[in-house]
Amino acid sequence: MSDKFNSLGIKKLPSQTRVLVAMSGGVDSSVCAALLHEQGYDVIGVTLQLYDHGEATGLTSKTVKSKTCCAGQDIYDAKRVAQDLGFPHYVLNYESNFHESVIDDFANSYIRGETPIPCVKCNQTVKFHDLIKVAHDLGADCMATGHYIQRLIDKNGKAYLKRAIDAGKDQSYFLFATTQEQLDFLRFPLGGWSKDTTRKEAERLGLLNANKPDSQDICFVPDGNYAKIVKKIRPDAVKSGNIVHIDGRIVGKHKGIIHYTIGQRRGIGIGGGISENNEPLYVIKLCPGNNEVIVGPKQALARNILYLIDCNWLIEKNINMPIEIDLKFRSVMQPTAAILYINSDKCAEIHLNKAHYGIATGQAAVCYINDRVIGGGWITKTLNKAL
217-258 per-position pLDDT tens digit: 677 776 778 888 888 888 887 899 999 999 999 999 999 999
Q: How confident is the model at residue 378 (pLDDT cuts 50, 70, 90)?
A: very high
Residue 387, pLDDT score:
60
- Contacts (Cβ under 8 Å, ≥6 apart) of 239: 256, 291
277: left (phi over 0), alpha (psi -120 to 50) or beta: left
Q: Give just the sign of the alpha carbon dihedral 104, 107, 109, 115.
A: positive
358: left (phi over 0), alpha (psi -120 to 50) or beta: left
Q: Is the pLDDT of residue 51 over 70?
A: no
**Which positions are annotated as active-site residues?**
122, 219
Least confident piece of the model among 46-50, 195-199, 241-245, 285-289: 46-50
Q: Average pLDDT for residues 19-48, to the nearest whole number?
A: 96
Please tell me the distance from the alpha carbon of residue 165 to that of residue 190, in angstroms, as a whole number.
9
Question: What is the percentage of the chain residues whose pLDDT exceeds 70?
Answer: 92
- Check if the beta carbon of residue 311 is closer than 8 Å to that of residue 330: no
- Check if the beta carbon of residue 217 is closer than 8 Å to that of residue 265: no
Please tell me the distance from the alpha carbon of residue 330 to that of residue 1, in angstroms, as a whole number.
45
Of the chain, the end-to-end C-alpha distance in Å amounts to 58
134-172 per-position pLDDT tens digit: 999 999 999 999 999 999 999 999 999 999 999 999 999
Q: Which residues of 137-159 are buried (b: 16+ CB within 10 A; e: fewer)?
A: eeebbbbbbbbbbbbeeeeeeeb
- Check if the beta carbon of residue 378 is closer than 8 Å to that of residue 364: yes
76-116 per-position pLDDT tens digit: 999 999 999 999 999 999 888 888 889 999 999 999 999 98
CATH code linked to domain 301-383: 2.40.30.10
Please tell me the distance from the alpha carbon of residue 211 to that of residue 156, in angstroms, as a whole number.
41
Distance of CA 135 to the CA centre of its chain: 21
Residue 270, pLDDT score:
85
CATH topology of domain 14-226: Rossmann fold (3.40.50)
Q: Is the pLDDT of residue 298 over 90?
A: yes
Domains 14-226 and 239-296 share a fold: no
| Rg (alpha carbons) of the chain, rounded to whole number | 22
Q: How confident is the model at residue 385 (pLDDT cuts 50, 70, 90)?
A: confident
- Domain assignments of the chain as residue spans, ordered by start: 14-226, 239-296, 301-383
- Check if the beta carbon of residue 351 is closer than 8 Å to that of residue 305: yes
56-76 per-position pLDDT tens digit: 455 554 544 444 455 678 899
Residue 101, pLDDT score:
87
Which stretch of DSSP H or E encloses residue 305?
strand 302-313
Average pLDDT of every residue of the chain: 90
- Check if the beta carbon of residue 226 is closer than 8 Å to that of residue 258: yes
CATH topology of domain 239-296: SH3 type barrels. (2.30.30)
DSSP, collapsed to helix, strand or coil, labels residue 354 as: strand
- Check if the beta carbon of residue 189 is closer than 8 Å to that of residue 144: yes
Residue 65, pLDDT score:
46
Distance of CA 265 to the CA centre of its chain: 24
- Check if the beta carbon of residue 110 is closer than 8 Å to that of residue 286: no
